[in-house]
Amino acid sequence: MASPDTDIAHEHAPSLEASRANSHAPLSQPHGWSISEYNPESTASSHLGVLGKDHFLIDFAPNDPGDPHNWSTARKWLQVCLALYATLALPLNGTSITIAADAISHDFGITDTPYFSNSYWVVSSWALGGAFFVVTGLPLFEDMGVRPGFLWSYAFMWFMIIPQALAPNYATLIITRFFTGGAVAAVANSVSAMIADLWDTEKDRTLPVSIYILFYVWGDSAGPAVFAAVTEYIGNWRWIFYIQLIIYGAPFPLLYWLLREVRPEVILRTRSKKMRKETGRDYFHEGEMTKIPFMLRFWRSTSRPLYLLFTEPVLFAATLWSAFALGLIFLFTQSVEQVFQGLYGWTEAQCGYVQGAVLIGQLFGWGASTYGQRFFFSSADRNLEFPGEPIPEARLYTSVFGSFFGVAGGMFLYGWTSYPHIHWIFPTLGLAVNGFGTLIVVYAAAEYVVDAYADSSYAGSALAAVAFGENIICAFLPLASQSMYTNLGFQWASTLIGFLALGLGFAPVVFIWKGRDLRERSPFMRSAKGTKVGSGVLAGADAGAGAGAGAPMTTTTTTTTRK
């Protein structure tokens, strides 16, 4: 099987630093911009073609107020808070519809058999839309910039909710929700890229990244709990979408007026165009001169994540581990009604409210993950591979507890307290414990994958592979709920899932034990060894990254050299 990178051998254009090094004396710097004369004799120009003597490169000058890294902390957090609203609110569209499954099935004549949940297809299509965007959509957004990509995706999703609210048949719901899932993935990608472009260092990014992941996983999980009141007090499932049109539409003017472009390449490209227009001279940003053709980027975006997923054992195991944990959140949208209605005679709305326990558990998981970051940063003192750099496997210490106690332990507790004579609070605690573990696992898996590939240009594609796998599992795992909980019973169905989670929980143990050896055996992790470009979920990502509808932890960033 040939690597998709064999067709793009010149993908990494030679650095234009050589041009700067061989250039004439710097020119004046209008507006605080850094400008250097372009040398057509340089290595870079020979790769790009001779452009002529009077071509100039621009970049950010030190302390340039236009550089997002130099913005005040308050201004950065304003941008992030606006974006985090979308991160929390938009994924509600994914699972909120499950709380009205009975009413929708009644209106459209959809029948759930004892062995298959046909009503879940509206969620499957939503997750598949996210998976599709992960491997196909990013080249379309790469040139836009963060702000246009965010706003266009946000607006498109809003318009796609209208036919969901007015749907005359079940097929309309399935088709339109595929597109909303893709739009949510696009917004999530924009938000993660925004965080990456606003903060310089991994430590600075830790808090906004952790909140971003918490909010996205919360958004995926909170749909049934938030919209349960619609079925209880309004009784019309279409109001789920009417309310979403309001909560998504009302803030849009605020987002439009306050969000600013933060991607350095787009800001500098805009500046260079303005300078060319005003002066008549040829000013360029480095990215304009090293840009890969669209079809080449499209091929890389679609092929590289899948190639890595099925050829890299570490990536495949990490994807399966994380995807299974996240898939359980979607499985609960099906199994909770089976368990709590069957045991306690609860209404559909009550089954929605009880899923709020998952959110509480995830909040505690977020606290544990944030606390666990200190183990990661302190590992730099004992790193013999890259002295002074944190050890990638140190990301996983907390996740071992999260996997065994949280994900697996939560399923065992959920299963073996599912008896009519046991108070409902105990299976509810099982949901909370599972939510605790899921947040830890999803966070740790994303961080570890990016750190493991941070020495190469493949981090973003690896993370896109994780997002793709997570969306696929979220789309199809819950379809087995009806059959498992009917045929095996509530206890053994949850036990089977618990044992699967227990087995997958050994993935971080193996990574911690043999991680360095595994990384050294990988041709992709070893690529560009010694040129570490950063670490963390929002650093070092290449153009293959993306965020899936059910997967929060991806981005696309490009490093801009600052003088």
- Which pLDDT tens digit goes with each residue over 446-462? 999 988 887 777 888 88
- Over residues 289-299, the mean pLDDT reads 78
**Is residue 121 over pLDDT 70?**
yes
The answer, yes or no, to whether residue 13 has pLDDT greater than 70, is no
Q: What's the confidence (pLDDT) of residue 1? A: 46
pLDDT for the residue 460: 80
> Using 50, 70 and 90 to split pLDDT, how confident is the model at 62?
confident
Query: Which tops the pLDDT comparison, 143 or 125?
Result: 125
- pLDDT, position 8: 31
- Report whether pLDDT(376) > 70: yes
In this predicted structure, the answer to whether residue 264 has a pLDDT above a threshold of 50 is yes
What lies within 8 Å, CB to CB, of 373 at 6+ separation is 206, 210
Q: Is it the case that residue 228 has pLDDT exceeding 90?
A: yes
Q: pLDDT tens for residues 65-81?
A: 888 989 999 999 999 99
The listed range with the strongest mean pLDDT (37-51, 270-284, 474-488) is 474-488
Q: Rank 106-115, 120-129, 190-199, 544-553 by mean pLDDT and report only the highest.
A: 120-129
Residue 141 has pLDDT above 80, yes or no: no
The residue with greater pLDDT, 113 or 162, is: 162
pLDDT score of 354: 98
pLDDT band of 240, cuts 50, 70, 90: very high
Q: Is a pLDDT exceeding 90 seen at residue 429?
A: yes
- CB-based burial of residue 425 (10 Å sphere; 0-12 exposed, 13-18 middle, 19+ buried)? exposed
> Domain ranges in the chain?
12-64+262-291, 68-260+295-521
Q: What is the pLDDT of residue 104?
A: 96
- Residue 417 Cα distances to 235, 275, 278, 358, angstroms: 31, 69, 73, 16
Average pLDDT over the chain, rounded to whole?
Answer: 84
CA distance 426 to 416: 9
Tell me the average pLDDT across 362-368.
98
CATH of 68-260+295-521, one of 3.30.70.1140, 1.20.1250.20, 2.30.30.40, 3.30.365.10: 1.20.1250.20
Is a pLDDT exceeding 70 seen at residue 222? Answer: yes
Give per-residue pLDDT as tens, 306-353: 999 999 999 999 999 999 999 999 999 999 999 999 999 999 999 999
pLDDT at 142 over 90: no
Say what percent of the chain tops pLDDT 90. Answer: 60
pLDDT digits (tens, 9 = 90+) for 15-27: 333 333 333 333 3
Q: Are 468 and 131 in contact (CB under 8 A)?
A: yes
What is the DSSP track for 53-83? Answer: SSEEEEEEPTT-TTSGGGS-HHHHHHHHHHH
By the 8 A CB rule, do 504 and 420 touch? no
The yes-or-no verdict on residue 91 having pLDDT over 50 is: yes
Instruction: Report the C-alpha gap between 500 and 480 in whole angstroms.
Output: 14
Q: Which of 26, 207, 31, 70 is nearest to 562 (CA)?
A: 70
Task: Output Rg (C-alpha) for the chain, integer angstroms.
Answer: 24
Whole-angstrom CA distances from 388 to 376, 377, 392 are 12, 10, 12
Q: How confident is the model at residue 47 (pLDDT cuts 50, 70, 90)?
A: very low
Residues 510-533: what's their mean pLDDT? 76
The pLDDT score that the predictor gives to residue 45 is 31
